[in-house]
């Protein structure tokens, strides 16, 4: 297909049914997620109660609204999600949701989840896509003047976002640890006592086979979705995979949003085809022609915005190649790279605050300053360790009136079942280190050891034994 034909094909109008189903599913999922934040008290627990919030580099200025305003913010976000689902003032709702969700996303780095990053990327694309053309309040209100169908490129744009996510989710798993069956073997050990399947989950060969199968599923599945003949089979396998994953692991809305995105690879009118088959009429065929030959090209702003967006989507996950060492150990280039359920990183950490003038030392247990989930996320990640070290510096300056303090971190970390080892140089004064996108030379190299197939309880025991020494942790 040459470029001219590709452009003409992208401008053909197709049935909006598939896009409408995705819009409704996306809106409903995010309404439910917003309700969960209210119901479980996560708004206060994650953003208002903590003494300290971690920030993405460059977004340190993003802070919570004062008082109860953050609850109102989540309320507005939920209303925008409802408006997206029903297609009411859709464009305003899509932009409003992107801005409100993006603000929440940037509030706390320790709450990063790939599923929230996927929501953010999809929300950005939806701002440019006329997903309200079918099965919406907007479509009913504009019935007499509405243009039939949607341009084919609008579905292609969402497909591309899910292709990027699926392919990178497979590519990042082509590493020695994963193909050796770790950390899957470590995670499966937690379910070793289950009836029927517990015996198989204990076998090292089972975790190795499952690891290779996941790589094939992500890479081959993403490509086969582009082929009509294999699409249905891939979707069935994806359904099984995501159901099993949601049972074994806590992964929130990710499987349901991914499955909704997978449905976009079917014919644009697949919901009507399915309904016709259920009715027994078979009036809609898989080869239904475009509603209209072609339509006006998107505005330049749309081309430029989506072009730059997808260029970044392709490049950002590759930035780990710019850093030395194992990204799973150093954490440099780890964020926004679709490294989903890939590594098991655990660490014990404590900080030593020293008054520079007279050498007075204080040992700080971060558990007194951070939520448990914040501590779990921060401990094995050097960039977040810097942030907390500087927070301790501010506390000592404000509380003790000491203007010149040094803060050092003692970290023993374990990656994918390896014995605990020092992660950072304990002699580095972290108050003198600046956050940067460059490599941190005070990160110690990953020891040349292989993961050991063992239980998490045994790993915790080894970490505690390692921490009992003079330079241990906790």
C-alpha dist (Å) from residue 396 to 101, 407, 449:
34, 10, 39
Spacing of C-alpha 162 from chain mean position:
13
**242/254 Cα distance (integer angstroms):** 9
Coil, strand or helix at 99: helix
60 vs 291, residue with greater confidence: 60
For 226-255, how does the pLDDT look when each residue is reduced to its tens digit (9 = 90+)? 999 999 999 999 999 998 888 878 788 999
- HSE-up of residue 113 (Cα within 13 Å, Cβ side): 11
Give the mean pLDDT of 450-463: 53
Whether 97 contacts 84, CB under 8 Å: yes
41: exposed, middle or buried (C-beta count within 10 Å: 0-12, 13-18, 19+)?
exposed
- HSE-up of residue 151 (Cα within 13 Å, Cβ side): 19
Split at pLDDT 50, 70, 90, the class of 454 is low
> Where do we find the tokens 């045994």?
458
Whether 18 contacts 263, CB under 8 Å: yes
Give the mean pLDDT of 349-353: 96
Spacing of C-alpha 323 from chain mean position:
21
> Which of 73-82, 168-177, 280-289 shows the lowest per-residue confidence on average (mean pLDDT)?
280-289
Tell me: pLDDT of 401 over 80.
Answer: no
Give the mean pLDDT of 183-195: 87
Residues with Cβ < 8 Å from 81, sequence gap 6 or more?
A: 27, 28, 30, 31, 34, 93, 97
C-alpha dist (Å) from residue 394 to 110, 334, 369, 427:
20, 28, 13, 20
For 253-286, how does the pLDDT look when each residue is reduced to its tens digit (9 = 90+)? 999 999 999 999 999 989 888 888 877 765 544 4
Give the residue extent of every domain in the chain: 3-171+225-320, 344-467
The reported pLDDT for the residue numbered 140 is: 87
The reported pLDDT for the residue numbered 473 is: 29
Closest CA to 334 of 251, 426, 421, 443: 443
Q: What are phi and psi of 134, to 5 degrees?
A: -135, 145
Give the mean pLDDT of 338-360: 92
Closest CA to 129 of 168, 87, 77: 87
Residue 472's H or E segment, with its range, is: none
The reported pLDDT for the residue numbered 106 is: 98
Tell me: pLDDT of 461 over 50.
Answer: no
Which alpha helices (DSSP H) does 367-439 contain, by range?
372-378, 382-400
Give the mean pLDDT of 393-399: 88
């Amino acid at each position: 297909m040459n470029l001219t034909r590709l452009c003409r094909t992208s401008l053909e109008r197709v049935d909006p049914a598939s896009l409408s189903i995705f819009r409704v599913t996306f809106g409903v999922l995010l309404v439910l997620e917003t309700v969960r934040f209210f119901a479980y008290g996560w708004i206060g627990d994650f953003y208002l109660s903590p003494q300290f919030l971690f920030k993405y580099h460059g977004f340190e200025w993003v802070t919570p609204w004062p008082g109860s305003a953050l609850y109102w913010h989540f309320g507005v976000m939920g209303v925008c999600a409802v408006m997206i689902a029903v297609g009411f003032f859709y464009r305003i709702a899509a932009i409003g949701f992107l801005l409100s969700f993006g603000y929440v996303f940037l509030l706390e780095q320790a709450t990063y989840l790939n599923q929230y990053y996927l929501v953010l990327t999809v929300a950005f694309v939806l701002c440019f896509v006329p997903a309200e053309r079918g099965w919406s309040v907007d479509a009913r209100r504009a019935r007499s003047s509405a243009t039939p169908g949607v341009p084919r490129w609008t579905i292609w744009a969402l497909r591309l976002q899910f292709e990027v996510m699926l392919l990178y989710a497979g590519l990042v798993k082509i590493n020695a640890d994963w193909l050796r069956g770790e950390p899957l073997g470590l995670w499966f050990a937690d379910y070793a006592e289950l009836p029927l399947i517990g015996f198989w989950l204990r076998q090292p060969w089972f975790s190795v086979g499952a690891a290779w199968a996941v790589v094939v599923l992500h890479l081959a599945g993403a490509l086969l979705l582009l082929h009509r003949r294999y699409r249905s089979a891939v979707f069935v396998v994806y359904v099984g995979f995501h159901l099993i994953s949601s049972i074994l692991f806590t992964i929130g809305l990710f499987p349901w949003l991914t499955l909704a995105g997978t449905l976009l690879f079917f014919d644009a009118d697949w919901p009507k085809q399915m309904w016709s088959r259920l009715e027994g009429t078979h009036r809609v065929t898989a080869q239904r022609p475009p509603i209209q030959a072609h339509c006006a090209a998107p505005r330049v702003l749309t081309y430029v915005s989506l072009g730059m967006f997808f260029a970044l989507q392709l490049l950002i996950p590759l930035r780990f190649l710019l850093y030395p060492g194992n990204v799973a150990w150093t954490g440099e280039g780890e964020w926004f790279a679709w490294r989903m359920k890939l590594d098991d990183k655990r660490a014990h950490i404590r900080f030593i605050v020293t008054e520079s003038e007279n050498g007075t030392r204080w040992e700080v247990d971060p558990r007194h300053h951070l939520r448990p989930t914040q501590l779990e996320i921060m401990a094995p990640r050097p960039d977040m360790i810097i942030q907390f070290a500087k927070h301790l510096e501010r506390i000592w300056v404000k509380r003790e009136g000491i203007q010149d303090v040094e803060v050092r971190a003692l970290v023993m970390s374990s990656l994918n079942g390896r014995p605990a080892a020092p992660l950072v140089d304990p002699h580095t004064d972290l108050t003198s280190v600046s956050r940067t996108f460059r490599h941190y030379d005070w990160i110690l190299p990953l020891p040349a050891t292989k993961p050991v197939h063992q239980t998490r309880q045994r790993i915790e025991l080894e970490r505690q034994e390692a921490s009992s020494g003079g330079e241990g942790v906790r």
